[in-house]
Structure 1
């Protein structure tokens, strides 16, 4: 089973839950940290990194001799990374999303591509768990290519836990796509509910089944649970505020280190999820 763990906003406990779920499922489980702009799973799992490789993305190279200034590259670029000035193209490389559209569209074949270093990919072991993450360079326009590269490292045959980027934009969608199930983590605040609605709408559009974990459920209001009841969103776990859990988090430890009883709870949630996932 490929289980993605996501949230409409940051700071809900998504990463902590992802690490705890991987540890609860035990040997043979893989954890992929696809929150490549702020990868934190390694802080909790302390993996032994066995390999670290550079990651590159393709960026355009414009041949001024061949270019006739027709502007097709500017027309097809959705990110405004190429603009024509006096019929001469100028590349804003930091805005390029490496889609390759400009090279395909150029009628003169004046655009080729070169690799640009964009980050690194690490893999290793945390005890009996397979671990991989990506670390994107600061200032990169899009983490999507790096997320896809990390996902390709998932070993076959065991459970895969994906820690997704927060939010509901392209990085989150890239990380969640292809999952058998998505476990959303939120908190019962007005901001939490607003972002949860966006996350639920996104998952429904890409047709990934989902359920909810409410973290610190006793510190907010009850509007989230009311909305879930009305919407039919299943709540699989409600975690109360616990100072010991918060203190463990600040020291880079998971919920299982201070509340090991949650291990059985997370295993049961996994069983419930698998029961609803088509074989």
Structure 2
């Protein structure tokens, strides 16, 4: 199978995005599963990989050398993000607001600023029964996981197998960074008014990025027409419907892959994988 990038996303959390991503990865077998939900990665709970590599992710933040600083305030004027403020006897640095753009460092006329690394998270790599595994984790209290996603995207470019990306929930910047350059986007939703509302947000994002997409209805049941009618109106295919079963919820709560405990679900994911690859080839 040639290298492709399939991104699994949803307009909100709790729709079953990770469920779909990990089970699709197990179905396709010779792939990489990449968990880009760096604020709360949980794909490892289901794939149970052997972690082989751990790498810190650092950003550069300014540090003031008061042996050289004259409190001229040029660095404060240069910062577009409010990460620096001038007090009576010092320049205060708010590192959680810093975007590591380097403007303060470049503009300081007295060479009084140096850039120092600050750890914001880490990336792990491993293997799960032949499936390559990558995830990122943002440190508590950090404002954004985008630096971690940038490092993950660099790693994805080096891979030689298909990639299943488990994106963050929602439609914000981290989602955009995780799904960019995707060959196909799989939008996971549930047949409720809230599910439809957030699906619409995700559809608009993917359309703006001009990426091909399909829909999976999770917890399918009596109200599926709510999603099906919307999908028909938008010209998007519903590729799979995962039924709601109590025993599936129990298996999920124990960290089990659904394709390994239910033959019907296994068949659904086999057809889903086949349909996605056919749509990518077109």
Normalising by structure 1, report the TM-score: 0.89
Q: Is the 8 A contact 1:7 1:184 kept in 2?
A: yes
Cα distance between partner residues in 1 of 2:160 and 2:167: 21
Which of residues 146, 149, 155 is equivalent to 2:148? Answer: 146
Q: Report how far residue 94 of structure 1 moved.
A: 2.1
How well do the aligned residues superpose, as a CA RMSD in angstroms?
Answer: 2.3
Cα distance between partner residues in 2 of 1:31 and 1:101: 36
Instruction: Show the 5 A alignment for 1:1-279.
Output: 1-26=4-29, 28-64=30-66, 65-66=68-69, 69-71=72-74, 73-78=76-81, 80-85=82-87, 89-106=91-108, 109-154=111-156, 156-218=159-221, 220=223, 222-277=225-280
5+ long unaligned stretches in structure 1? none
| Corresponding residue pairs, total | 277
Cα distance between partner residues in 2 of 1:47 and 1:251: 16
Q: Is the 8 A contact 1:61 1:112 kept in 2?
A: yes
> Against the structure 1 CA distance between its residues 205 and 83, is the aligned structure 2 distance closer, same or farther, given a 3 Å change threshold?
farther
> Against the structure 1 CA distance between its residues 85 and 258, is the aligned structure 2 distance closer, same or farther, given a 3 Å change threshold?
same
- Partner secondary structure for residue 195 of structure 1: helix
Cα distance between partner residues in 2 of 1:128 and 1:221: 35
> Against the structure 1 CA distance between its residues 70 and 40, is the aligned structure 2 distance closer, same or farther, given a 3 Å change threshold?
same
Q: Is the 8 A contact 1:97 1:142 kept in 2?
A: no
Cα distance between partner residues in 2 of 1:210 and 1:258: 28
Q: Is the 8 A contact 1:96 1:141 kept in 2?
A: no
- Partner secondary structure for residue 276 of structure 1: helix
Q: Report how far residue 107 of structure 1 moved.
A: 5.6
Q: Is the deviation greater in 179-188 or in 60-69?
A: 60-69
Q: Is the 8 A contact 2:242 2:265 kept in 1?
A: no
> Against the structure 1 CA distance between its residues 99 and 223, is the aligned structure 2 distance closer, same or farther, given a 3 Å change threshold?
farther
Q: Report how far residue 112 of structure 1 moved.
A: 3.0
5+ long unaligned stretches in structure 2? none
Normalising by structure 2, report the TM-score: 0.89
Q: Report how far residue 247 of structure 1 moved.
A: 0.5
In the TM superposition, what whole-angstrom CA distance separates every residue of 1:99-147 from its partner, at most 9, and x where no partner exists?
A: 4344345565543311111122111110111111111110111101112
In the TM superposition, what whole-angstrom CA distance separates every residue of 1:73-115 from its partner, at most 9, and x where no partner exists?
A: 445423x322334596421112223343443455655433111
Q: Is the 8 A contact 1:4 1:162 kept in 2?
A: yes
In the TM superposition, what whole-angstrom CA distance separates every residue of 1:2-28 from its partner, at most 9, and x where no partner exists?
A: 1010111000110111000000001x2
